[in-house]
């Protein structure tokens, strides 16, 4: 259908005297419970100290605050003790890859960033500030984030499109001495590894013996492949729209070229349907649809993680006809692969020890801690704990903190 046909008043019934509703409010408007829930925003700033009168005012601001400023100027590490830096994170986006909505811009991304900040506080006790930047140039993004970094204990990058997100994160990690974490990559990867660890235990397989197919070579797919390799999975094939990544392809960007060299050890070629036959594990992070017959052609006791939202690559009930374990990104089915299981605890642990970064070992430790929480409850429909399990954040935070100390990344 053409664009013209969508705006023709003879078709739509709309005219200057009968305009369309504001584009920010879809059909249903206030009848949609999401709108009243979001009205006025989901965040506010609250004081952590009393302000009861003149004496408190003289401590909170001038003249008392000047003495604290002088102490920090003399000993910069005191900023962690006398400001919120030790518990604060900037949630930074440019609005170019928001949920499944794509490039919707910084203003439209703000409700998501507010939601992320809410989750940081609710689950991790971390004060997070949504920062939506009106720039998409990598140099500008890096420079802007670096300039605001002194006010925060960590940087959570969010919803920045691939492949730009990889360079933004790499350059910020090289430049800053605080944790920088792209949650679309590493939060997903941590939870996938935790869930896969338990799924393999349930189906009595070892990482070294399985063949994994990852559909999608964007932010999540690249990070999932990296953490699985670090965890001992040897045979991983990553696919994109052009099929399996392999060194012979000439259409790959630098990130995919590197991935082609570190995965696909047998050099398979072809489409997703070609490489999925006989595979032990399917991990979908692309949104493309997978037909039932492709799942049926996988190995016995297959493991299917169909993580696209809101529509999984294959419906979980369909996948369950042929797979031993099925997970999705949705909360209305068992085994939800939800990043909220990872990022609050990862940052809590990193902030607690004033880590200078977040290493692969810290991510692996987070995944192992998550997997271990299922314990004796392990079942085909319970391979991952609930985000509301009160043990999750303390367990992940402790594991991350211990790993940071072991690697010499902790400052306390």
- Give the residue numbers of the binding site: 158-159, 184, 309, 338
Residue ranges of the annotated binding site for (S)-malate are 309, 338
Catalytic residue among 61, 122, 206, 363: 61
Positive/negative CA dihedral, 254, 259, 265, 266: negative
> Is 116 designated active site?
yes
Determine the Cα–Cα distance for residues 126 and 72; give it in Å rounded to an integer. 22
Whether omega for the bond prior to residue 63 falls within 30 degrees of 0, making it cis, is yes
Determine the Cα–Cα distance for residues 400 and 44; give it in Å rounded to an integer. 29
Strand bridging mode 211-215 / 281-284 = parallel
Strand bridging mode 235-240 / 243-244 = antiparallel
- 3-state helix, strand, coil split of the chain in percent (to 5) is 45, 15, 40
> Is 61 designated active site?
yes
Residue ranges of the annotated binding site for a divalent metal cation are 158-159, 184
Q: Which residues contact 187 (CB under 8 A, 6 or more apart)?
A: 181, 339, 342, 343, 346
- Are 353 and 401 in contact by the 8 Å Cβ rule? The answer is yes
Catalytic residue among 85, 116, 256, 363: 116
Residues belonging to the active site: 61, 116
């Amino acid at each position: 259908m053409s664009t013209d046909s969508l705006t023709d008043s003879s078709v739509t019934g709309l005219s200057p005297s009968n305009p369309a509703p504001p584009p920010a409010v879809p059909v249903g408007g206030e009848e949609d419970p999401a709108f009243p829930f979001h009205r006025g925003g989901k965040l506010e700033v609250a004081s952590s100290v009393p302000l009861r009168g003149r004496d408190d005012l003289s401590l909170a601001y001038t003249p008392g605050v000047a003495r604290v400023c002088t102490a920090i100027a003399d000993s910069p590490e005191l900023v962690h003790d006398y400001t919120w830096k030790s518990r604060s994170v900037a949630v930074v986006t440019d609005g170019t890859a928001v949920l499944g909505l794509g490039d919707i811009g910084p203003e439209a991304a703000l409700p998501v960033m507010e939601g992320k900040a809410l989750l940081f506080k609710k689950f991790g006790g971390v004060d997070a500030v949504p920062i939506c930047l009106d720039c998409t140039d990598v140099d500008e993004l890096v420079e802007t984030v670096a300039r605001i970094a002194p006010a925060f204990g960590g940087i959570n990058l969010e919803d920045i499109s691939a492949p730009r997100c990889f360079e933004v994160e790499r350059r910020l990690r090289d430049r800053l001495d605080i944790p920088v974490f792209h949650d679309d990559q590493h939060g997903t990867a941590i939870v996938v590894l935790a869930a896969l660890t338990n799924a393999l235990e349930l189906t009595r397989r070892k990482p070294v013996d399985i063949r994994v197919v990852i559909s999608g070579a964007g932010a999540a797919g690249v990070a999932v492949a990296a953490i699985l390799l670090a965890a001992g999975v040897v045979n991983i094939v990553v696919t994109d729209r052009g099929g399996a990544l392999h060194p012979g392809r000439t259409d790959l960007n630098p990130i995919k070229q590197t991935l082609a060299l570190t995965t696909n050890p047998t050099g398979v070629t072809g489409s997703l349907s070609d490489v999925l036959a006989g595979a032990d594990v399917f991990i979908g992070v692309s949104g493309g649809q997978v037909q039932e017959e492709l799942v049926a052609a996988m190995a016995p006791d297959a493991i299917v993680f169909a993580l696209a939202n809101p529509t999984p690559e294959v419906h979980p009930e369909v996948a369950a006809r042929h797979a031993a374990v099925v997970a999705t990104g949705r909360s209305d089915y068992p085994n939800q692969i939800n990043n909220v299981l990872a990022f609050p605890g990862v940052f809590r642990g990193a902030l607690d020890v004033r880590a200078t970064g977040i290493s692969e070992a810290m991510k692996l430790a987070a995944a192992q801690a998550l997997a271990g929480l299922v314990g004796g409850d392990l079942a085909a429909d319970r391979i991952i704990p609930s985000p509301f399990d009160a043990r999750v954040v303390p367990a992940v935070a402790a594991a991350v903190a211990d790993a940071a100390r072991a690697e010499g990344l902790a400052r306390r």
